[in-house]
């Protein structure tokens, strides 16, 4: 086959021949050369189903077979973010390893304790594990880490792009450094990633000390042709008999998607429920078999598995109306079309979603973007008139076509995750000094922004005698206190991210899914859930169970959520769309008219000449031309001055009974670097899992580094003036 093939171990070559492959893919050839030819860290970037797993593991397994380890422990470590992904990957690796008699050990919460105990007794082969289960190993078997991983020659991190900036990513990088410290040597890191934007930036996340020594392999994209359309709709029609925008979009989806496999990204779980309900109703009215199904994280595992199976089944046309649950991870095969309802939150997500379509040779990728704007009345404000949803959709599509997407942001302090790792290191070692914690987590580990004084403040907060989380013993070491032990001993400790409390929804003994507590439900109330209609029979507040039976009507449930950050570049492009003259060919007539109208309004309001306009004697609008982080920071600064402020994409609406005339002066002060403290006493700063253990001062520092851009404030105010 090739030189690369010759470098593989015999059983692996035999497996490849057995697969009937005519040749290896380019990315696999390159990965085999890179992995067998050096010991450098490596990122392999290719699309889903691009053969990344084999590219990494064919040469890695070959090395294990050709040069068996003398030390004990798993030969290779794989970390994956989803249990379903680990199950998938274990199946594929078992196929490769079967011939070679190398064990493949999937290890996560659904694997029985018995299987884990047996594997840990004689560790060898490939361990596939979640970050949380690896955390549990450090806490429960801290002393066994060298025995479990003494032979480990590489760690493969799957879906690297999903853990660059997240809390989970910080936890994973911390575990990787703790692994190397426990072994007293470095372990080769290999990241598998989707191609998103500038991959060179990902190198610093894989090996922060030496990003320049991380090799980068990118699959040359055989980019499919892209067919796209943006459709405009008006909601809030005067004529009550006319179909609503929702009804029109559902009808359009039904007409265009029926008979093939598709994904409809509806933007929120509530919106998924609304559209799934409408599409089911249309199928019933037309007396056609059901082929539209909802899919989101609050639906039961059974239902989700059913929808995923149907998508894979070529005999059954299936459209999933979904949230980002179907954006990545598990393989559901190729879909004909991707529809997006409402503007997406990031170009990266849009690209990832579009990658689900047009994978087969000769098939185009198809994107149908639906935009809903409100009908204007004399009372409509400038935000409605500027059609910001449509404008953002266009801006994102333009950036997507240019190949841009959001880069990872420089790291914040991540104090919640730092608390978690402090407790974990103390549990792992049965006690640790402040000095060791600093070296392990801040110098060697991912908390590089955390200075010694900040770490000491965090330790003092945890050491507060009332909290009993940690205490200093006479040996000078920090140990877990009474509450610290209880916290760490409970299995809910391992995950670093927060999850809200929820009710379980049950019909005839079968679980339909879960609902957050913010839905106030009582018997006889009607609700839409899982794309169907229900009547509430009973609510058990103690066991958090809601019993329902099938009903005739209902309202869609609320799910809550946090607003996301829109990148500066997206907002800048939105202003270019508003100020430009180009009419993209992919707009339908309604969308084109809406855009022309928005441009006309933009000029009429005067935004083409100035960034501050007076809407009335009490209210002004400011065009910040900046993303969520900067715009929110300015909003806080103005609120601290006593103004009422509403935020929008790139705009602020500022109201004051008596001080609107001083707005220019206040902005001038802010431009000079002179502003009031941004947080009032009532501002909620607790938004991550371990935040409740920190002091107000530490929470303030954490929020300033993660959610806001205070140093950029003067420049932003200056640009507006």
Residue with tokens 């853990």: 163
Instruction: Using the minimum distance from each CB to DNA, give the nearer residue, 116 or 436.
Output: 116
Instruction: Using the minimum distance from each CB to DNA, give the nearer residue, 133 or 428.
Output: 133
- Listed in order, strand segments (DSSP E) in 256-318 are 262-265, 292-295
Instruction: Using the minimum distance from each CB to DNA, give the nearer residue, 15 or 693.
Output: 693
| Interacting residue ranges for DNA, rule: CB under 7 A | 81-84, 108-110, 113, 116, 130, 132-133, 136, 140-141, 166, 168, 267-270, 296-298, 323-325, 343, 345-346, 349, 392, 491-495, 497-499, 559-566, 628, 647-649
| C-alpha to C-alpha distances, 176 to 44, 103, 186, 483, 642, nearest whole angstrom | 19, 23, 9, 27, 47
Residues 6+ apart with CB under 8 A from 305: none
Nearest to 566 by CA among 385, 399, 683: 399
Question: Can you tell me whether residue 229 is helix, strand or coil?
Answer: strand
Instruction: Using the minimum distance from each CB to DNA, give the nearer residue, 5 or 345.
Output: 345
β-strand pairing of 188-193 with 154-157: parallel
> Which pair of tokens denotes residue 693?
């253990």
CA dihedral of 185, 191, 196, 202, whole degrees rounded to 10? 0
Instruction: Using the minimum distance from each CB to DNA, give the nearer residue, 590 or 629.
Output: 629
* φ/ψ of residue 648, rounded to 5: -140, 175
| Helix 83-98 × helix 52-66 angle, to 10° | 50
Radius of gyration over every alpha carbon of the chain, rounded to an integer in angstroms: 27
Q: How near is the Cβ of 81 to DNA at its closest, in Å? A: 6
How far, in Å, CA of 45 to CA of 216, rounded? 8
* φ/ψ of residue 357, rounded to 5: -115, 155
Q: How near is the Cβ of 648 to DNA at its closest, in Å? A: 6
Q: How near is the Cβ of 492 to DNA at its closest, in Å? A: 4
Instruction: Using the minimum distance from each CB to DNA, give the nearer residue, 74 or 493.
Output: 493
Q: How near is the Cβ of 179 to DNA at its closest, in Å? A: 17
How far, in Å, CA of 520 to CA of 534, rounded? 15
> Which pair of tokens denotes residue 536?
């509430």
Q: How near is the Cβ of 183 to DNA at its closest, in Å? A: 20
How far, in Å, CA of 27 to CA of 212, rounded? 21
Q: How near is the Cβ of 130 to DNA at its closest, in Å? A: 4
**DSSP designation for 443:** I
Nearest to 147 by CA among 71, 75, 69: 71
Instruction: Using the minimum distance from each CB to DNA, give the nearer residue, 570 or 671.
Output: 570
How far, in Å, CA of 576 to CA of 77, rounded? 47
Q: How near is the Cβ of 99 to DNA at its closest, in Å? A: 28
Instruction: Using the minimum distance from each CB to DNA, give the nearer residue, 64 or 119.
Output: 119
Question: Can you tell me whether residue 250 is helix, strand or coil?
Answer: helix
Q: How near is the Cβ of 166 to DNA at its closest, in Å? A: 7
Instruction: Using the minimum distance from each CB to DNA, give the nearer residue, 41 or 702.
Output: 702
Instruction: Using the minimum distance from each CB to DNA, give the nearer residue, 83 or 258.
Output: 83
Instruction: Using the minimum distance from each CB to DNA, give the nearer residue, 87 or 655.
Output: 87
How far, in Å, CA of 642 to CA of 640, rounded? 5
Q: How near is the Cβ of 96 to DNA at its closest, in Å? A: 23
CB contact at 8 A, 670 and 657: no
> Which pair of tokens denotes residue 14?
């035999």
CB contact at 8 A, 338 and 356: yes
Q: How near is the Cβ of 222 to DNA at its closest, in Å? A: 28
Q: How near is the Cβ of 627 to DNA at its closest, in Å? A: 9
Q: How near is the Cβ of 455 to DNA at its closest, in Å? A: 25
Instruction: Using the minimum distance from each CB to DNA, give the nearer residue, 203 or 295.
Output: 295
How far, in Å, CA of 666 to CA of 28, rounded? 59
Instruction: Using the minimum distance from each CB to DNA, give the nearer residue, 117 or 616.
Output: 117
Largest CA distance in the chain: 82
Q: How near is the Cβ of 529 to DNA at its closest, in Å? A: 13
Secondary structure in 3-state letters for 379-421: CCCHHHHCCHHHHHHHHHHHHHHCCCCCCCCCCCCCHHHHHHH
Question: Can you tell me whether residue 309 is helix, strand or coil?
Answer: helix
């Amino acid at each position: 086959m090739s030189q690369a093939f010759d470098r593989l171990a015999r059983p692996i070559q035999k497996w490849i021949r057995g697969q009937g492959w005519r040749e290896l893919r380019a990315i696999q050839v390159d990965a085999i050369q890179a992995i067998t030819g050096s010991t450098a860290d490596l990122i392999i970037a290719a699309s889903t189903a691009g053969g990344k797993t084999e590219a990494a593991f064919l040469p890695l397994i070959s090395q294990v077979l050709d040069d068996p380890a003398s030390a004990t422990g798993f030969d290779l470590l794989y970390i994956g973010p989803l249990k379903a992904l680990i199950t998938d990957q274990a199946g594929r690796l078992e196929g490769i390893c079967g011939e070679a008699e190398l064990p493949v050990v999937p290890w996560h919460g659904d694997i029985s304790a018995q299987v884990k105990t047996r594997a840990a007794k004689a560790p060898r082969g490939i361990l596939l594990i979640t970050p949380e289960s690896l955390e549990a190993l450090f806490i429960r078997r801290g002393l066994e880490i060298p025995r479990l991983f003494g032979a480990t020659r590489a760690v493969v991190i799957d879906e690297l792009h999903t853990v660059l900036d997240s809390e989970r990513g910080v936890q994973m990088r911390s575990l990787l450094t703790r692994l190397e410290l426990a072994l007293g040597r470095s372990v080769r890191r290999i990241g598998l990633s989707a191609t998103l934007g500038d991959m060179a930036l990902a190198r610093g996340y894989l090996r922060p000390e030496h990003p320049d020594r991380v090799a980068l392999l990118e699959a040359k994209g055989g980019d499919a042709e892209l067919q796209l359309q943006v459709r405009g709709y008006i909601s809030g029609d005067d004529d009550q008999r006319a179909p609503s925008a929702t009804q029109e979009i559902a009808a359009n989806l039904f007409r265009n998607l029926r008979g093939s496999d598709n994904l409809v990204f509806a933007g929120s779980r509530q919106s998924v429920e609304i559209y799934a309900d409408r599409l089911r109703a249309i199928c019933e009215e037309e007396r056609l078999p059901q082929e539209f199904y909802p899919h989101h994280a609050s639906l039961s595992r059974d239902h989700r598995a059913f929808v995923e199976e149907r998508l894979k089944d070529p005999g059954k046309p299936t459209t999933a109306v979904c949230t980002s649950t179907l954006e990545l991870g598990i393989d559901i095969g190729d879909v004909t079309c991707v529809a997006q309802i409402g503007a997406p939150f990031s170009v990266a997500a849009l690209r990832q979603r579009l990658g689900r379509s047009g994978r087969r040779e000769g098939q185009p990728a198809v994107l149908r973007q639906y935009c809903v704007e409100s009908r204007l009345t004399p009372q409509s404000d400038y935000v409605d008139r500027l059609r910001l949803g449509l404008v953002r959709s266009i801006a994102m599509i333009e950036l997507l076509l240019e190949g841009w997407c959001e880069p990872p942001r420089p790291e914040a302090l991540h104090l919640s995750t730092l608390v978690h790792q402090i407790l974990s290191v103390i549990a792992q070692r049965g006690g640790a000094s402040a000095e060791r914690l600093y070296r392990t987590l801040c110098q060697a580990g991912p908390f590089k922004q955390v200075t010694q004084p900040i770490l000491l403040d965090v330790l003092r907060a945890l050491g507060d005698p009332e909290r009993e989380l940690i205490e200093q013993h006479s040996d000078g070491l920090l140990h877990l206190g009474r509450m610290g032990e209880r916290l760490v001993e409970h299995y809910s400790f391992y995950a670093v991210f927060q999850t809200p409390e929820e009710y379980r929804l049950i019909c005839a003994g079968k679980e339909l899914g879960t609902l957050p507590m913010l839905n106030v439900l009582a018997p006889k109330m009607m609700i839409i859930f899982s794309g169907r209609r229900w009547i509430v029979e009973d609510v058990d507040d103690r066991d958090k169970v809601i019993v329902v039976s099938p009903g005739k009507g209902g309202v869609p449930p609320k799910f809550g959520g946090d607003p996301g950050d829109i990148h500066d570049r997206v907002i800048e492009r939105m202003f270019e769309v508003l100020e430009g003259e180009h009419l993209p060919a992919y707009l339908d007539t309604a969308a084109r008219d809406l855009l022309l109208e928005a441009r006309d309004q933009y000029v009429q309001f005067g935004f083409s000449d100035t960034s501050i306009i007076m809407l009335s004697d009490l209210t002004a609008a400011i065009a910040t031309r900046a993303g969520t982080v900067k715009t929110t920071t300015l909003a806080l600064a103005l609120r601290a001055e006593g103004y009422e402020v509403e935020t929008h994409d790139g705009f602020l609406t500022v109201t004051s009974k008596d001080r609107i005339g001083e707005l220019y002066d206040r902005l001038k002060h802010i431009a000079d670097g002179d502003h009031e403290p941004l947080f009032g006493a009532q501002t909620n700063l607790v938004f991550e899992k371990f935040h409740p253990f920190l002091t107000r001062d530490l929470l303030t520092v954490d929020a300033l580094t993660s959610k806001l851009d205070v140093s950029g404030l003067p420049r932003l105010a200056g640009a507006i003036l």
